[in-house]
Amino acid sequence: MPSLLVFKQENVYNRDMKEKYDLIIIGAGPAGLSAGLYGARAGLSCAVVEKAAVGGLATTTADIENYPGVKRTDGFSLCYAMMEQCTGAGAETVFSEAVGVDRTDGGFLVRLANGTSPSCKRVIITAGASPKKLNVDGEEKFTGRGVSYCATCDGAFFRGKTVAVIGGGNTAVEDALYLEKLAAKVYLVHRRDALRADRVLDERLKASAVTPIWNSVVHSIDGQDKVAQIALKDVKTEALNTVSVDGIFVAIGQSPNSEIFKDLKTDEYGYILTDEDMRTSVDGILCAGDIRHKSLRQVITACADGAIAASTAARDLL
């Protein structure tokens, strides 16, 4: 398995940016890498700007079985392949955080945390989404000391231990099934008595050793130096119940990383509104992937959005 360190040694990420591009793509998840691939192949000079690691949230998925043509893979491997294809087509990738986008006469300046502000004619925002927090007592204090938002990143620390996964969607069930292979005991805590997750995952969960705790929410997370227990509240009876755990994996959905794009129209949750060509409410700024208002957030729909956004930019410019 290739590592991000190898990426850096190969100097793929740390190329110096040019001052001008046709297209700057903000975020190197599946949407951004697909936009880079399509933009570069259309003949646009493209840079994909990434603040952290390639792949975004998709890299936190241990098993991907619904990306057509790839029977089974993990998020990191799939995104690594996308990254190689994107840069192989000629898109540049740059590690820095985009902190703002300013309009100029001919297009935009993208302000980066590294102090540079490259210009471009079109921007595609593919900044994705971040895991939501529970906002309960103890969550902040124990983050990194038993509270995690990424089972594939932190699961190995809980080998042979007891953990609870919170949530009832695809992420929570996938996380619980992944952790079941490592931990001695896995609870799945959900606020209702039916999962939101796909049926295939529901069936796998039923066939697993994961213990569901239905109709319950986390009231608080407690311990000394690290997590020792969680207090759960039964949503029907309001009774509090304590469960001893070494770790808690929060998988209750995501919020869009759209704070810096305040001028764009969004829905009530902050997801950016686009038309079917991925145009936002600001002329010249497009948007793709999980940060966009849409009904299905999957790797395949992120890739499709990215391809459409880059093709729209190419149609405008060529």
Active site residues per annotation: 150, 153-154
81-100 positions binding ligand NAP, by CB under 6 A: none
Residue nearest to ligand NAP (CB): 169
As beta bridge partners, residue 254 has: 131
Range 124-163, binding ligand NAP (CB under 6 A): 134
Cα dihedral 20, 24, 26, 28, rounded to 10, equals -110
Nearer to ligand NAP, 103 or 191 (CB): 191
Task: Identify the CA nearest to 209 among candidates 184, 189, 190, 228.
Answer: 184
Contact track, ligand NAP, 49-88, x by CB under 6 A: ------------x----x----------------------
Q: How many CA atoms lie within 13 A of 229 on its CB side?
A: 7
Write down the least CB distance from residue 208 to ligand NAP, Å: 16
Least Cβ distance, residue 240 to ligand NAP (angstroms): 16
Contact 155, 43 (CB under 8 A): no
Task: Select 74 or 174, whichever has its Cβ closest to ligand NAP.
Answer: 174
As measured in angstroms, the least distance from the Cβ of 135 to ligand NAP is: 7
Q: Is 106 exposed, middle or buried (0-12, 13-18, 19+ CB in 10 A)?
A: exposed
Q: How many CB atoms neighbour CB 6 within 10 A?
A: 11
Q: How many angstroms from the chain centroid is the CA of residue 198?
A: 19
Question: Site size for ligand NAP, by CB under 6 A?
Answer: 21
Does residue number 254 form part of the binding site for ligand NAP (CB under 6 A)? yes
Q: Where are the alpha helices (DSSP H) in the chain?
A: 4-9, 30-41, 75-88, 151-154, 170-180, 199-206, 299-317
Q: Which is nearer to ligand NAP, 51 or 191 (CB)?
A: 191
39 binds ligand NAP (CB under 6 A): no
CB of 7 to ligand NAP, least distance (A): 24
Give the one residue of 22, 74, 154, 174 binding ligand NAP; rule: CB under 6 A: 174
Q: At a CB cut-off of 8 Å and minimum separation 6, what does 191 contact?
A: 168, 215, 216, 217, 235
Stretch that binds ligand NAP, among 91-99, 150-158, 164-172, 303-311 (CB under 6 A): 164-172
Question: Minimal CA–CA distance to 172: which of 144, 202, 215?
Answer: 202
Instruction: Decide: is 31 part of the binding site for ligand NAP (CB under 6 A).
Output: no
The smaller minimum CB distance to ligand NAP, of residues 39 and 155, is found at: 155
Q: Does 192 bind ligand NAP (CB under 6 A)?
A: yes
Q: How far is the CB of 95 from ligand NAP (least distance, A)?
A: 25
CA–CA distance, 280 with 135 (Å, rounded to integer) = 31
CB of 142 closer than 8 Å to CB of 43: no
Reading the block at residue 250, the tokens are 């929060």
Q: Are the beta carbons of 76 and 53 closer than 8 angstroms?
A: no
- Specify the residue, 154 or 174, whose C-beta has the smaller distance to ligand NAP: 174
Contacts of 144 (CB under 8 A, 6+ apart): none
List 51, 191, 204, 293, residue binding ligand NAP (CB under 6 A): 191
Tokens 């529901």 belong to 202
Shortest spacing between CB 74 and ligand NAP, in angstroms = 11
Site for ligand NAP in 233-252 (CB under 6 A): 251-252
Q: Which residues bind ligand NAP (CB under 6 A)?
A: 61, 66, 134, 166-172, 174, 191-192, 196, 217, 251-254, 297-298
